[in-house]
A = this chain, B = another copy of it.
Amino acid sequence: MNLPSCLSQLCRALPRRIGSTTQLILRSLSRSLVLSSQRRIPEFSSFVARTNTCGELRSSHLGQEVTLCGWIQYRRQNIFLVLRDFHGLVQVLIPQDESAASVKKILCDAPVESVVQVSGTVISRPPGQENPKMPTGEIEIKVKTAKLLNSCRKLPFEIKDFVKKTETLRLQYRYLDLRSFQMQYNLRLRSQMVMKMREYLCNLHGFVDIETPTLFKKTPGGAKEFLVPSREPGKFYSLPQSPQQFKQLLMVGGLDRYFQVARCYRDEGSRPDRQPEFTQIDIEMSFVDQTGIQRLIEGLLHCSWPSDKDPVVVPFPSMTFAEALATYGTDKPDTRFGMKIIDISDLFRNTEIGFLQDALNKPEGTIKAICVPEGTKYFKRREIDSIRKIAADHFNQEVLPIFLKVGRNWNSPVAKLIIEEQRLELTRLMEIQEEDMVLLTAGEHKKACSLLGKLRLECADLLEMRGVVLRDTSLFSFLWVVDFPLFLPKEENPSELESTHHPFTAPHPNDIHLLYTEPKKVRSQHYDLVLNGHEIGGGSIRIHDAELQRYILETLLKEDVKLLSHLLQALEYGAPPHGGIALGLDRLMCLITGAPSIRDVIAFPKSFRGHDLMSNAPDSVPPEELKPYHIQVSWPTDAEAEKSS
């Protein structure tokens, strides 16, 4: 029961005649409660030249004298005007009598999207003219005075959500695009969620918000870090990809619980849904284990989740990396729907189908399948061709898919070679129903899983394009993925190792002995948080032992430890056990708002080529301004320029 309702019940239940002291206290208590409950709705009109926002006016304001400021949304026959501010729309009655001619002139002459201030009285709309679709639809404003605050010239596009604009136009006139309902909603929701996260971390759990530098030095292997020339010849700062080193050093410094809404930088050139600068909720704790971080983050998301959505259910399910790969063919499974990968190798141990036999005879050879519900009903030649193309484009011949159309008679060239017994067992194992389609592949475990994982998502998209509801858009399906391998073979040289995530990740306690014998088998204490098939966060328990850190960097990863000597040294001076996580705020907001791109949850994003289309950044700089930084441009030759374009 909340406090104000508690109090009102208390008042009703109290004996009629109570002492005057009690009455006084009760009145004071009541005032406090009203104040504290009022405080939950911010005062949007404090300190400014309005009494109310356009969007807040209701019948309860009838008769009040109000002053509003806003943009002219539209005008109807010089009689009505709809005024807009960030809070909503309100109808303004343009006065028609002679004495108010100057007010009428102002309101009728101002172009759409001009900014005006009006003062007047809140009145009821005449009976029958209420607009139930408009939150302020029961009232209108009878204007007494009006002031044109700024006029608007002809717009490059209309500020209406149903008017489709190209993204280039939207980014070029971002300040106009920001006026749309959707952008206002996205940015305000982002601000509110981050605020609730801060309250959870700072006020409930004693985290310290600490700002770490962004002018730092290049990290080993940090090939994607922007450089910042300094005034010392040949010396550069680097814009870090994350505050990883700093947050660990803060734990060594005894700060105990750190968080930061951290700006990070990554120079990946042109990538469609990436930004050169992005934001992460960055967290680190001392004396914590994997479970501790997971419970913290579940609480964080539960606490900050938008109230207009279904509450987040905690704890989140967890899955090992091996299981995610085997079942969903990816380390970030979308668990909103089934179509899981099933291993059917055993079924075909004695098959006579040649290429299945071949596959099984190879090391780690397997046969896998997914069952696409109602696939035979919805998938025609075109869909199947598109699936086949993806398989061919992304994977090699070994793992080409086989389509088994399940009907009265299984329709597939291969189907004839499947004996009745196998067919029955397959149907049972995979819960195949009539009109389903089975996608089958044979090959090395990881490759076969990856292919089917990709085709699973492709099939889901194709089914949804056909109108099948597979993934509930109001559903938010969180998942922890754990027990990643600590190392991977380097792509360019598979005999060498590289960190799966980063070299500060602690090995799984049960696998530490394997570090010195079979490092490829060591699992890590890394965890990823996945939402609806997107990785929205990742973190780990870190190495706090200098010896172990040095062994991993020097012996296993062959890194130049000189660049990290400060971190290694810090671990020797009483570093506590610690771990942390970082959540990608842009991606998270994008998923929550259902926005088509992360550019829709960022106020001033860069285009996919990394340009600011509004101001035209990056831009040329005259040579004399490069001089203090001791750099000069190496202009590419015509041949080079041609090659790169």
Contact = CB atoms under 8 A, between A and B. Distances in A.
Interface string A227-256: 111111111111100000110011011111
Taken together, the copies of this chain in the complex come to 2
Contacts of A213: 277, 604, 606, 612
B202 A42 contact: yes
Nearest to A43: B205
Contact of A245 (B178, B198, B615): B615
A494 interface: no
B14 A252 contact: no
Contact of A573 (B22, B113, B544): B113
A347 interface: no
Given A232-B618, A617-B216, A602 B211 contact: yes
Contacts of A48: 285-288, 292
B293 A616 contact: no
Interface in A150-197: 150-153, 155, 173-179, 183-184, 187-188, 191-192, 194-195
A603 B247 CA distance: 10
Contact of A32 (B2, B153, B615): B2
Interface residues on A, range: 35 or more
Contacts of A233: 633-636, 641
SS of A interface (majority): mixed
B576 A150 contact: yes
A15 interface: yes
B292 A47 contact: yes
A489 interface: no
B603 A246 contact: yes
A577 B626 CA distance: 37
A575 interface: yes
Interface in A253-274: 253-257, 263, 265, 267, 269
Interface in A139-158: 149-153, 155
A217 interface: yes
28 contacts: A3-B3, A10-B26, A13-B18, A13-B25, A14-B14, A42-B207, A49-B577, A69-B576, A71-B254, A85-B254, A115-B575, A149-B287, A149-B577, A150-B575, A174-B253, A175-B253, A175-B570, A178-B254, A215-B265, A217-B615, A217-B616, A230-B610, A231-B610, A233-B636, A235-B618, A236-B618, A236-B621, A566-B615
